[in-house]
Structure 1
């Protein structure tokens, strides 16, 4: 790191502070309002939403992890990024209209409208615990590691990341998060493109990269027996996890709820879908570049996860290194600010407001701010405990998200597509899925890293060692059957639980909404693009079709 690199990083922080300050001032111009603090006044345009969806999703673990996996096994890991483009279209075209029409602030609140308060408490509790134990602590930890790499002590770096990100999230709410994300996405993409272009140039071009790495590194479609990316898991299991993450997780969906109307929300998801095609080329490919240069002896790569840091140190000149480090910081800060805001929204809206329904708007905003502070402290407190937990166990804890997602995806999907499924079916599906997922985790722990503790050839061993994508599909099918079966046995839901919330009842008014909420929904569901609205909607369809063609082209090329 040279003086120019440090100047770039300082400049990055100054820009972020400036944007955050502007967003905070704008948020405070009127009276303190929960819709303004948690959903940016529901007045955000498509470009900001799309950029925030992408920036919030891409964390430091993506940059390091995607490059590392690319260095060890090639482009197959990019399947999850490409699939995300399709799932984002599902969010915009299928889910968002029902979310907006229901007038909800959170995903647990939507489950209560469609099913019951029990479903709301289940999802809120699971989400908050998962955010604290995984997303918040991991992102803070990653921030400390990035600063350690440039000569700053771990805890100093972690506190800088938490202090800066927490400050503008607490003061500015979702508006500050969205507009800082908009800046950070350009820094993030710019740094990654610099690494990719210089790395490929160092090898002598794309053809030389393919020759040096071998054709196997450029094949996304792996056999069914592949331990990590079997094609059957990618086709059947990965979309289940994608629906949970992109279409039902508060961390992501909250951005679309802030849109000025449904058209802008949908347009934002289409834009984000196009952005999600980039990681294959600017995150995964650099890992393959590092592998190829290692094969040629141009650099030393002791561990695949060192791919990106080694490339930055070996290839980039002073100044560009600062841009890449700023990109790493942008990735983790955008993820951290997003999870802070989303988690505080859940705590405020699904816990505090449920316990104190007569709370004022000012109280809700202040609870949101205080909960962000508490969540920050909990995340910091969890980091030292990570050192006392074995790496294998921590990996298993992270994988729990993959095991709890199929039942959540099931109740959301069937809840929208079928008006027959009811609250009892939903709770039976959620709880059964949780138990089966927990049992899988226990079996993995019992079987151990070597996979030799359970009797060979038994059903228990198969259950414990099944590829996690195959398991996700299996669990989803079980949860769907339970949801349908219990719903049929216990009778149809009442009319107010389905009105306006399913495709069969989409034209009906959602029950139980205040006049103020109905007025807000009328604005959100109406067009605000003037005379060009028809042209805009045709463009939405055209860009959607073009995105699907682009996904197909990538799949064909890397096959």
Structure 2
């Protein structure tokens, strides 16, 4: 395994210089809260799409996807083929968000339902960001530093903390200074860095292995574990559970989550927002090949004795591949000097991109959905300053939570992340879908669905954690709940949440027609319909068809690639 050369460090340093220039320029252009949180609503489709892609593909994705590729094959590809949901974001959800003029998703819920729904979603989102997304992302980044720079700071453990804390501090600094404009434009550069660096890993790894046919041959020796569709008896990824849970989690993440939707709200106009979402969907198609497949390639190289992978103790006490260290190991083992620095820059880009987005989204949620409701007469300067303070608080909380991560991510970082999201997403997805398509859904139903769904999800997560720690072995019932597959649990949580929303809505007065104008599909004004129609062009339809076609082709190919 090689370490970074002088050339590698020079490339990494150049990357940070470019970031500093972008932040400096962005900081000179923000004067209002709209500038700080939504970049003045003046971003074009290319930057919107690139930012959507880069913010989704963080260090936890690169590390976690490659790790799952090495240990579980193509099972997690379903989540990486959510490009079709980005098309849905652009065509179905964005028109409502953009026309409403909101800064945040909780703010939209208040317009559609009531202030209580806004508060609940704000609090749930902040808790989720700080204790899952921020900490998981930093943890993954620290693991990368521990592998790439094992001896630079005395030990891999020291490299973990020095790298993680330094990157968090720098990311927090440039987000606080530059606001959302810096986030979006650095995202655009980082997306390109990620694509180039990871593509080199895939290409060089395949060349060393002997080509695509050799990869298929190695994977075919354990076809059931490495196929796209697992048997319904599979403990981790039963095909029916995947079909049920993946869209529920995906709609929440891509179509209703502040972390993602904020990028489309920063667009110049509705047309640019839609095209940015479609372009982001096009970019989203490729992670299967440049992030997931490298893990499979690493596993195949390991099986042929061409690379050494990090190992860990499995549940039965035997030594198994430590999937979360696979990608970084491939970087240091396969790439020559120069390219190694480029990919390290890409990993830093991924970490900083995700963190910067999280910091700004949390600041937006706290400032606009909580602080401004308490202090409605605050000046624009005050709102921006509060946003900066909130960002700093999020940085501190995320860092303080890092030591807890090794105790709860032993089952694989990406699977852990999806399971947590599977317990958070169902009530939010249910409320947004029902709220947009059915005028009879009211604030009472939304509040009940969000509250009960969230509490049930957290109850399942708590029981699962306690069972995993061996603390509830005396209760067969609780053990069964804790061990129940998270994919099926996601489906049940969605069904229960939807039923609660409908029942509570039907047993209370319907919202007035005036309060629903332009907030549901059945209450659009003539002007809104005309604006939406006029903003659609041939390029929107062609781009959407290309994205959907690519998703279909990839699904078809990998459904039969080991047969």
1:296 Cα offset (Å): 0.9
Whole-Å separation in 1 of the counterparts to 2:469 and 2:283? 36
CA shift in 2, pair 1:201/1:451, >3 Å = farther
- When structure 1 is superposed on structure 2, of 211-220 and 105-114 the one drifting more is 211-220
1:541 alignment partner in structure 2: 541
1:205 alignment partner in structure 2: 211
Residue deviations 1:390-409, cap 9 Å, x none? Answer: 85799979844321210011
Q: Would the aligned equivalents of 1:446 and 1:454 in 2 still touch at CA under 8 Å? A: no
1:246 Cα offset (Å): 0.8
1:4 alignment partner in structure 2: 7
1:509 Cα offset (Å): 8.3
Residue deviations 1:234-263, cap 9 Å, x none? Answer: 222110011111111100000000011111
- Does residue 373 (structure 1) correspond to residue 380 (structure 2)? The answer is no
Q: Would the aligned equivalents of 1:146 and 1:329 in 2 still touch at CA under 8 Å? A: no
Q: Would the aligned equivalents of 1:270 and 1:544 in 2 still touch at CA under 8 Å? A: yes
TM-score, normalization by structure 1: 0.90
Counterpart selection for 2:17 from 14, 17, 20: 14
Whole-Å separation in 2 of the counterparts to 1:34 and 1:390? 37
1:324 Cα offset (Å): 1.2
Residue deviations 1:453-482, cap 9 Å, x none? Answer: 2665x5x55543322111111111111111
Whole-Å separation in 1 of the counterparts to 2:50 and 2:446? 33
2:49 alignment partner in structure 1: 50
1:558 alignment partner in structure 2: 558
The alignment's C-alpha RMSD in Å is: 2.5
The gaps in structure 1 that reach 5 residues or longer are 511-520, 528-532
Summarize the alignment of residues 211-226 of structure 1 with structure 2, pairs less than 5 Å apart: 211-214=217-220, 216=223, 219-226=227-234
Summarize the alignment of residues 262-273 of structure 1 with structure 2, pairs less than 5 Å apart: 262-273=270-281
Whole-Å separation in 1 of the counterparts to 2:532 and 2:192? 31
Q: Would the aligned equivalents of 2:144 and 2:328 in 1 still touch at CA under 8 Å? A: no
CA shift in 2, pair 1:146/1:445, >3 Å = closer
1:382 Cα offset (Å): 2.4
1:292 counterpart SS class: helix
- Does residue 440 (structure 1) correspond to residue 448 (structure 2)? The answer is no
1:165 alignment partner in structure 2: 171
Whole-Å separation in 1 of the counterparts to 2:390 and 2:471? 41
Whole-Å separation in 1 of the counterparts to 2:70 and 2:526? 53
CA shift in 2, pair 1:372/1:94, >3 Å = same
Whole-Å separation in 2 of the counterparts to 1:185 and 1:426? 36
CA shift in 2, pair 1:383/1:412, >3 Å = same
Counterpart selection for 1:342 from 336, 358, 361: 361
CA shift in 2, pair 1:59/1:526, >3 Å = same
1:159 Cα offset (Å): 3.2
Q: Would the aligned equivalents of 1:92 and 1:266 in 2 still touch at CA under 8 Å? A: yes
Whole-Å separation in 1 of the counterparts to 2:73 and 2:264? 33
CA shift in 2, pair 1:411/1:509, >3 Å = farther
2:258 alignment partner in structure 1: 250
CA shift in 2, pair 1:170/1:538, >3 Å = same
2:201 alignment partner in structure 1: 195
CA shift in 2, pair 1:526/1:479, >3 Å = closer
Q: Would the aligned equivalents of 2:513 and 2:523 in 1 still touch at CA under 8 Å? A: no
Summarize the alignment of residues 39-118 of structure 1 with structure 2, pairs less than 5 Å apart: 39-82=38-81, 84-118=82-116
Q: Would the aligned equivalents of 1:67 and 1:307 in 2 still touch at CA under 8 Å? A: yes
- When structure 1 is superposed on structure 2, of 94-103 and 396-405 the one drifting more is 396-405
- When structure 1 is superposed on structure 2, of 139-148 and 381-390 the one drifting more is 381-390
Whole-Å separation in 1 of the counterparts to 2:470 and 2:277? 41
Residue deviations 1:249-280, cap 9 Å, x none? Answer: 10000000001111111111111111111111
Counterpart selection for 1:406 from 415, 426, 430: 426
Q: Would the aligned equivalents of 1:347 and 1:368 in 2 still touch at CA under 8 Å? A: yes
CA shift in 2, pair 1:320/1:219, >3 Å = same
Q: Would the aligned equivalents of 1:428 and 1:483 in 2 still touch at CA under 8 Å? A: yes
Whole-Å separation in 2 of the counterparts to 1:346 and 1:164? 22
How many residues align? The count is 534
1:139 Cα offset (Å): 2.5
- Does residue 325 (structure 1) correspond to residue 344 (structure 2)? The answer is yes
Counterpart selection for 2:443 from 405, 423, 441: 423
Whole-Å separation in 1 of the counterparts to 2:552 and 2:493? 28
Q: Would the aligned equivalents of 2:175 and 2:182 in 1 still touch at CA under 8 Å? A: yes
1:339 Cα offset (Å): 0.3
Q: Would the aligned equivalents of 2:426 and 2:491 in 1 still touch at CA under 8 Å? A: yes
Q: Would the aligned equivalents of 2:466 and 2:472 in 1 still touch at CA under 8 Å? A: no
Whole-Å separation in 2 of the counterparts to 1:398 and 1:201? 32
CA shift in 2, pair 1:185/1:173, >3 Å = same
TM-score, normalization by structure 2: 0.89
- Does residue 506 (structure 1) correspond to residue 500 (structure 2)? The answer is no
2:378 counterpart SS class: coil
- Does residue 490 (structure 1) correspond to residue 497 (structure 2)? The answer is no
CA shift in 2, pair 1:446/1:38, >3 Å = closer
- When structure 1 is superposed on structure 2, of 147-156 and 302-311 the one drifting more is 147-156
1:513 alignment partner in structure 2: none
Counterpart selection for 2:489 from 462, 466, 471: 471
1:189 Cα offset (Å): 1.0
- When structure 1 is superposed on structure 2, of 279-288 and 147-156 the one drifting more is 147-156
Whole-Å separation in 1 of the counterparts to 2:557 and 2:449? 39
Whole-Å separation in 1 of the counterparts to 2:329 and 2:439? 54
Whole-Å separation in 2 of the counterparts to 1:478 and 1:254? 28
Summarize the alignment of residues 230-245 of structure 1 with structure 2, pairs less than 5 Å apart: 230-245=238-253
- When structure 1 is superposed on structure 2, of 142-151 and 120-129 the one drifting more is 142-151
Residue deviations 1:17-59, cap 9 Å, x none? Answer: 122222222x24xxx2111111111111110000000100111
The gaps in structure 2 that reach 5 residues or longer are 154-158, 312-320
Residue deviations 1:208-234, cap 9 Å, x none? Answer: 221123272663111222222222122
